Amino acid sequence: MGLLLRMLLRDWRGGELSILLLALVLAVTMVSGISGFANALKDALRQESHSFLAADLAIRDARPLPSEWTELAQERGLNTAEILTFSSMTFSSDGAMVLSSVKAVSDAYPLRGFLRLSNSPFGELREAVGAPERGTVWLEPRLFALLAVEVGDLVEIGQASFTVAGAVRSEPDRAGGFLGVGPRVMLNADDIPATGVVQPGSRVSYRQLYAGDSALVAEFADELNTLLLPGQELQSVETSQPSVAQALERAERFLLLAGSLAVVLASIAVALASRRYAQRHQKHVALLKSLGSSSSRVRTLYAGSLALTWAAGLLLGWLAAWGLQSLALEAFAEQLTVKPSILAPRPYLVGAVTALVCVTCFAWPSLSRLATVSPLRVLRADLPVHAGREGRDYLIAVAAIGLLMFWYSADFELTSVVLAGLLSIALVGGVVAYLLLRGGREAGTQAGSIWRLALASLLRHGVGNALQLVVFAVAIMLLLLLALLRTSLLDGWQEQLPDDAPNHFILNLAPDEVEDVAALLDEASIRRESLYPMLRGRVVAVNDEPLPFEAEQDGPRQREANFTWSNELPPGNELVEGRWWGPAETDFVSIEAEFAENMGVKVGDQLQLRIGAAQLEAEVLSLRELDWESFKPNFFMVFPEDFLSDYPTTYMTSFYLPPDQKPLLNSLLKQHPTATVIEVDAIMEQLRSTLSQVSNAIELVLLLVLGAGALVLVAGVQSTTDIRMRESALLRALGARRNHLLGSVAIEFAALGAMAGLLAVVAGESAFWALQSFAFELEYQPTPALWPLVLLTAVGLITALGLWSCRRVVSVEPIRVLREL
């Protein structure tokens, strides 16, 4: 142990261990830091996104839900709240009445997110949690106009009267769906019995909300799933807010990918650093053996040394990861309503295991081979080291990278694509490197002496250079890939949610109101989407096979849906199967693909439909995919105009209303009192802020991975530095001029950089295509504009690193370089 510690200390003092240690520290920092940060952020964002549900988990039913479930949830350590929603007439004391959507909530509502209230209909907003006080109600702004009431006036619902206490401007859980929309009246759930409106048989939607620690919620969800009766629906953010869920899922995948790539890069850095460490220690081992040290002693010494380096790297890495997480989360503290923990154990465990795998699978093979160094090397330094098992080492390394990535990302698809990319770049890179370097030999014989020198050097170390080339190419490819994905994700979100994306919906417009409303909006220069006809309908049978009212599990059942007509494919819709109808075709329908799948419907099926009392039949002509992330009107079922035009219909559209034009809503609603306006601007702001946090997180993680990439480049350059230094020192001793040598080194690395850049562009672009198409399900667009930039950056960066690492050749006397190496 004494010798071991002294050896380590000496190695450390002599700088021998610093790169290996640095690579390990970086591996742990990257993995623990990114994984911790990503997890913490994911939890925080998920909790934030749960505000779209006002809870982490909710259950809905048309019948009262058992109160035992609330008690059970509370026993399990969860918070609970209850909501009842139903339609009811609201009367003013002057006798005005409006059919409104009443929402009665318990005091704990909402469990996630906030209500936005104001004291007057479109007054200053404030955030609040809790139900209205008993005996009071909050009204949606337009109800003030419709009922001609003000704050402090009385309104009646059923047998009870309530004082108007304020305006409710937005509810966290009001983003999804337009079912049962009427102007909102919100009251305290304890006041419901006094109204007497909820009777057996009333159409009421009951919801129980649950929130708490994510593991407890997940357990409780599993428990509830076993208790659910038909018709009871468990809701989570994935089911209630597909757009948020999709954005989060992509962000998560990106972070996982970035983390996995950081693992790969750190592993390569560790492998390169160990290889160099082992090379530099061959002389040391030969001497130890000539002095009487056995192979097993050498092995024990280096194993011990590696174990201690692992421990030191782990501690330093953990410390750095902790610092990194604190810094990163500090940067997000203002935007995050939930303070994530930086001490959750899993990321640190992930770091420890990663470092252990790095040490055993990437560092140990090189070091263990030291035990086979012949002591005869003390007399003959040119003896080769046994290298027969290198193939096995590469296999172990690839398997380890694969397992590590899979364990880390738990995503087989992502792991396979990245692994396939790495393997193909290694394979193609090796062959291309060999061919290019061989081609260089012919060019070199005709070139000037500085070029000849550089090319000769490239060729002489063919195998080492090919390896270096592949390492450079892999590092650049991974960074390029990550940068491309990041840009694509961020641009995608920016495109889906531009600043002027529709932030209000208007529904329930009668056909004769359509022109007026369109004119009103157009006059005020409000950007709006087309006006779509909308009517409620029901699919009752498929191919004359009646659908049940209630389904076991998720099976097909009768469902109400919004129908619309259109003679063209609505913008933002994509046909995935079948075709669109022509001008004379009528009895057809186009269905949203997932909706069709849930009902078990295919193209060519006959659907039996009901609109009011009317029975209709249509053939499924196409399936469409919708962009749920846009805030534009989207319909599950679209028909040809002639098919539906005889049925009573209302119209809807969405539009962008800048905050300073909010009062326009008042005049709009005064002129069209039966129309319904849904304000989603607050929700969109929330979504925008969520996405901007995710974007920031992605930028930060990208920066970290760039750090890992840089380390790999440095380790890669250093892997051949010794031999280049020795040769350059010799050449200098033989009279080569300083500029000549530097020029030759620059040309060598520039050539390597150019080849690596070229390989990286090809492989990066291919992997980008694969990931976009299969893992992120985004549209792939080639990025030729980036190619020359990547090439130039690769050349510049690798040349600069090469010159920097060989700078001692020209700054130190050649004899010293020769003596030290």
Partner 1 sequence: MISVSNLAKRVPIADGELTILKGINLEIKSSETVAIVGASGSGKSTLLGLLAGLDNASEGAVEIDGTNLQALDEDGRAALRAEKVGFIFQSFQLLPALTALENVMLPLELKNISDAGSRAEEFLSRVGLEQRLTHYPRQLSGGEQQRVAIARAFAGQPSILFADEPTGNLDSKTGERIADLLFELNREQGTTLVLVTHDGALAQRCQRRFEMEAGLLEEHNSTAHAVAQIG
Among 533, 608, 596, 607, CA closest to 564:
533
Quick one: how far is CA 31 from the chain centroid?
A: 17
The reply on whether position 16 binds partner 1 by CB under 8 A is yes
Among 283, 452, 536, 662, binds partner 1 (CB under 8 A): 283
Among positions 284, 726, 740, 808, the unique one binding partner 1 when judged by CB under 8 A? 284
Q: Closest Cα partner for 211 from 52, 332, 66, 61?
A: 52
Does 297 bind partner 1 (CB under 8 A)? Our answer is yes
Q: How many CA atoms lie within 13 A of 230 on its CB side?
A: 8
Q: Contacting partner 1 (CB under 8 A), which of 101, 106, 293, 325? A: 293
* Three-class SS state of 385: coil
Q: Does 273 bind partner 1 (CB under 8 A)?
A: no
Choose the stretch contacting partner 1; rule: CB under 8 A; options: 374-382, 449-457, 506-514, 662-670. Answer: 374-382
The Cα 45–Cα 339 span in angstroms is: 10
Give the whole-angstrom CA distance, residue 352 versus residue 380. Answer: 41
287 binds partner 1 (CB under 8 A): yes
User: Which amino acid, 703?
Assistant: L
Residue from 8, 11, 171, 310 binding partner 1 (CB under 8 A)? 11
Q: Could you tell me if 730 and 814 are in contact, meaning their C-beta atoms sit under 8 angstroms apart? A: yes
Per rule CB under 8 A, is residue 671 in the interface with partner 1?
no
Residue 388 within binding range of partner 1, rule CB under 8 A: no
Contacting residue, 234, 343, 376, 789, with partner 1 by CB under 8 A:
376
The residue within the footprint of partner 1, chosen from 5, 10, 127, 500 (CB under 8 A), is 10
Least distance to partner 1, CB of residue 817, Å:
10
> Does residue 378 bind partner 1 (CB under 8 A)?
yes
Q: CB of residue 291 vs partner 1: minimum separation in angstroms?
A: 4
Question: Smallest gap, in angstroms, from Cβ of residue 20 to partner 1?
Answer: 14
Identified binder of partner 1 from the candidate list 215, 345, 380, 660, rule CB under 8 A: 380
Taking CB under 8 A as the rule, which mask of x and - marks residues 28-47 in contact with partner 1? --------------------
Task: Pick one of 5, 8, 13, 190: the residue that binds partner 1 (CB under 8 A).
Answer: 13
Question: What is the C-alpha separation between 664 and 524, in angstroms, rounded?
Answer: 9
DSSP for 216-244, written as a single string = HHHHHHHHHHHHPPTT-EEE-HHHH-HHH
| 386 interacts with partner 1 by CB under 8 A | no
- Please report, as a single letter, which amino acid is at residue 249: E
Q: Which of 130, 135, 375, 707 binds partner 1 (CB under 8 A)?
A: 375
- Taking alpha carbons only, the member of 712, 706, 775, 694 closest to residue 37 is 694
Structure tokens at 466: 């090919």
Q: Work out the end-to-end distance of the chain between its first and last CA atoms, rounded to an integer number of angstroms.
A: 28
Q: 234 is written with which tokens?
A: 């468990």
Q: Does 177 bind partner 1 (CB under 8 A)?
A: no
Sole binder of partner 1 in the list 292, 388, 659, 784 (CB under 8 A): 292
529 to each of 519, 522, 655, how far by Cα in Å?
A: 13, 11, 6
Question: Is residue 152 involved in binding partner 1 (CB under 8 A)?
Answer: no
Interface with partner 1 (CB under 8 A), residue from 124, 226, 382, 819: 819
Q: Of 15 and 448, which CB lies nearer to partner 1 in the complex structure?
A: 15
Beta carbons within 8 Å of 800's beta carbon, 6+ residues apart: none
Characterize 25-52 residue by residue with b for buried, 16 or more Cβ atoms within 10 angstroms of its Cβ, and e for exposed: bbbbbbbbbbbbbbbbbbbbbbbbbbbb
Q: Which one among 296, 446, 525, 553 touches partner 1, defined by CB under 8 A?
A: 296
Gap between the Cα atoms of 683 and 442, Å rounded: 66
Among 42, 250, 289, 504, which residue interacts with partner 1 (rule: CB under 8 A)?
289
CA 477 – CA 759 distance, rounded (Å): 8
Does 540 interact with partner 1 (rule: CB under 8 A)? no
CB-wise, 14 or 439, nearer to partner 1?
14
Choose between 420 and 815: whose C-beta lies nearer to partner 1: 815
Q: Which residues bind partner 1 (CB under 8 A)?
A: 2-3, 6, 10-11, 13-14, 16, 283-284, 287-297, 374-376, 378-380, 816, 819-820
